[in-house]
Amino acid sequence: MHHDHSNHPHHSDPGYVGHADHEQQLESNLPNPAPHQHEGHGQHGGHDRHAGHSPEMFKRRFFICLVLTLPILYFSPLFQEWFRYQAIDLQGSNWITPILATVIYFYGGWAFLKGAWYELRGKIGMMTLIALAITVAFVYSLAVTFGLPGDPFYWELATLVDVMLLGHWIEMASVQGASRALEHLADLVPAISHRLTNGRIEDVSVSTLTEHDRILIRPGEQIPIDGEITEGASSVNEAFLTGESRPVTKQMGDEVVGGAVNGEGALTVQVTRTGDKTTLSQIMRLVEEAQSSRSRYQALADQLAYWLTLIAIGVSTLTFVVWLAANSGLTFAINRAVTVLVITCPHALGLAIPLVIVNATAMSAKNGILVRSREAFERARDIKAIAFDKTGTLTEGRFGVQHMDTDGINELDALTISASLESLSEHPLGQAIVGEAEHRQIHLVQASEFKAIPGRGVEGTVNAQRYRVGRPEWAEELNLTFPSALRKGLQEIESRGESAIVLLNDQQVLAVIGLADQIRERAREAIQRLHEMNIETVMITGDAEAVAKTVAAELGIDRYYARVLPQDKATLVRRLKAEKPTAFVGDGINDAPALFEADLGIAIGAGTNVAIESADLVLVKNDPLDATYALQLAKATYNKMIQNLFWSTGYNVIGIPLAAGIAYPFGILLSPAVGALFMSISTVIVSINAMLLRRVKLSH
C-alpha cells in the first residue's frame, strides 16, 4: 500500500521516497547526512554541492581569507579615498594586492569552482553563479594589473569570497547540527552493564546482552537497554525520549528504556529488546531518515537558484553589450556586468530552507514529536480534517468507574466492599474498581471465603457479610430483588455503551457501577484546539454505536464512525481523504494501513516501542494534544520558509536593474561592493528569520 496523495505535487520530486521502499532507496537516492561526504558526487539536490566538504573546511578557509583580505582593503585606492589616509609606499607594494587576491581566488574560491564544475555537468545553480562572479572579477583585475586600462576589482573579489565562505560555513554547520543529534543519542547508552548471574553481579558489554538477561541499574546510572522491571521502584528521567524533564515513577512490571536516567532507587530489569530493536536505535533511525528525506521547499530553492543563474548570466551579458555599444568604455561595461553577477548570487537562498528545517526539527524533538519525513511535515499545513482512532488515543485504553447508583448502602461502603472482593480478582473491570478505590484513598478490607465464579463474577465474605460482585444477569439468576431506581440506572449505563457491574448481598442488588474506557484529559483540550484551528474532527472506532456516541458527545467531536473493523479503517480514511486533506492519529500497531493511507499519518501511543514504519510523525508522549502542536508547528514552518524564499530573492527585483546601471542617468550606480553588502544583509535577515521560529507561541 502507498500514500495516494493525488492532490499533493510532491510525487514529481525525484527526491521523494515513499514509505514502503524508504530503506532501500535511502542510500541510492538521498544525500548522506554524515559530516564528511565522499568527493565527486554529481548530484545536485539538497547539500550535494558540498560533496567532500565539511563545516571545519569552510571555517578555516573563511578565517585565512579574512586575514588575507585586510591588506587588500588597506592598499585599495577606494578605501584610501573613503577613509582619507595614505597607504605606506613599500617597494613592490603594488604587487601585494594581486598576489593575495590570487591566493584568495584559488584557496578560498576553490570549493565554489569545484561545485560549479559538478553543476555544469548537470543542472547549473548557486555554485555556478558564485564561480562566475569571482572568476570574471579575478581575470579582469589581473588583466588591469598587467596593463589593461581600468580599475581592478581585487577588494570586491576578496570580500565576496569571504562572505560566501562564511555563509556556506553557517549552512553546513546548521545541517551538521542535526547529524550531531544522532551522535548525542548514541552517547546516551553506557557501554557496560551489570548482569546478574546466579546471584552474582558481573560487568559485561551491553552488546553481549540477550533477551531475558537480568541486569542491575544502580541509582543515578543511565539505563543501558530496554527492559521490564522485575524488582525495585524508582523515578526515571526519560527527557531524551519525551522532551519531558519531570521524572516518571517506575515500579515492578513497568517498562524502562535504554538512554533514560535512573533516579533514587536500585532496579533489577529483565532485558526485552536488544540491538536494532531498542527504542534508542529506532529513534536514531527515524532521525537519520528525517535528515535524509528531501524537502519540497529545498527543491524549490534549488529551482529558484537555477533561474536566478540564468537571469544573472542573461542580464549580465546584456548589460555588458549595451554599455559597450553606448561607448561607456570597457571598464565601465565589465564593472556593470560583474556587479550584476555579484548581486544576483543567491547566497541567502542556500540558507533559506536548511535553517528553518534545523529549527523546526529541533523544536519537534524537544516536544516529543519525531519527524520521519520532512516532506510529510511540510504537508501537514494543508490538513483540514483529522481522524482519531478511539481506543488508546482519545481514551486511556483502560476502564475506569464513571457512575455509581446505590440502594440501602452508601456509595463509599459499596465501593469499599466491591474493591475488597475485586482486589483478589484478575478481571480488568474488577481492577478498574480497585483503581477507583485507590484513587479515593479507601482502605480495603480483608475478604475471606473468596471464590471466582466463571462468567458471573466473584463472591466472598467482607465484615462477616456475604457479598457478590459481577454481571447484572447474576442477580436475575439468583432471583434477587432489583430496586427500580437501580434498574433505571442500569438502563442509562447500557444506553451510554458502558459496562455494568452490580454489588449483591443475599437479598437484593445494592449498587450498580458503570465502567467505561476513560477519556484522556488532554483529548478534550486537543479537540477544542483543533476546532479553533478550523480543522474537522472525526473519530473511528471498532466499539458499539452507543459507546462511540457517548465519547464523541463528551469530547465534542464533529462526526464518528462506530463498529469499524481494523481492515476497514484504511478504506474509511481513503473516503475522508477524497473530501479534504486528512490526517489520521492512531497507535501505529494495528492502525498501520490507515496511517499509510492518510495524507499525514501520526502515530501516538507508540509508548517506548517506536518501530513504526507507517507513520510520518511519531508522538512519543502519548498525548493527543501533541497532534495539534505538530500541525501548528508545520504551519509556522511553512510561513518561515516562504518568507525566507522571498527575502533571499526579492531584493534582486530592485538590485539587478540598479546593478545593470538603469538609474545611471540619475547618478545612481550600484558598485560590486554595495552589491555584496546587499547580498550579505539578505543572508543575515534570512538567518534571523529562521531563528524566530523558536519564538512561535505554540499553545502547549
Q: What is the DSSP string of 322-343?
A: HHHHTT--HHHHHHHHHHHHHH
Please state, for a pLDDT cut of 70, what percent of the chain lies above it: 82
pLDDT over 80 (residue 470):
yes
> What residue segments make up the domains of the chain, in order of their start?
192-224+226-273, 368-394+519-627, 398-518
Distance CA 95, CA 293 (A): 49
Instruction: Report the range of poorest mean pLDDT among 59-63, 104-108, 142-146, 152-156.
Output: 152-156
Listing DSSP states for 437-486 in one string gives: HHHTTPPP---EEEEEETTTEEEEEETTEEEEEE-HHHHHHTT-B--HHH
Q: Structure pTM?
A: 0.63
Nine-digit cell string for 391: 481506543
Which residue numbers are catalytic? 389
Strands annotated E in 289-406:
369-371, 385-389, 395-406
Q: How many CB atoms lie within 10 A of CB 116?
A: 23
Predicted pLDDT of residue 693: 85
Strands annotated E in 483-535:
499-504, 509-519
In which element (H, E) is residue 236 found?
Answer: strand 234-237
Instruction: Decide which of 81 and 561 is more confident.
Output: 561
* Class in CATH terms, 368-394+519-627: alpha beta
DSSP annotation of 245 reads -
Distance CA 285, CA 274 (A): 15
In which element (H, E) is residue 65 found?
Answer: helix 55-75
Distance CA 487, CA 508 (A): 12
Q: How confident is the model at residue 220 (pLDDT cuts 50, 70, 90)?
A: confident
Predicted pLDDT of residue 20: 30
DSSP annotation of 252 reads T
**What Cα–Cα distance (Å) separates residue 638 from each residue in 100, 125, 375, 599?**
43, 23, 11, 17
CB 520 within 8 A of CB 551: no
Fold (topology level) of 398-518: Calcium-transporting ATPase, cytoplasmic domain N (3.40.1110)
Predicted pLDDT of residue 510: 93
CB 236 within 8 A of CB 261: yes
- The pLDDT tens digits of the residues spanning 158-216 come to 888 887 788 778 667 755 655 555 555 566 677 888 999 888 899 998 889 999 899 99
For 192-224+226-273, CATH gives: 2.70.150.10
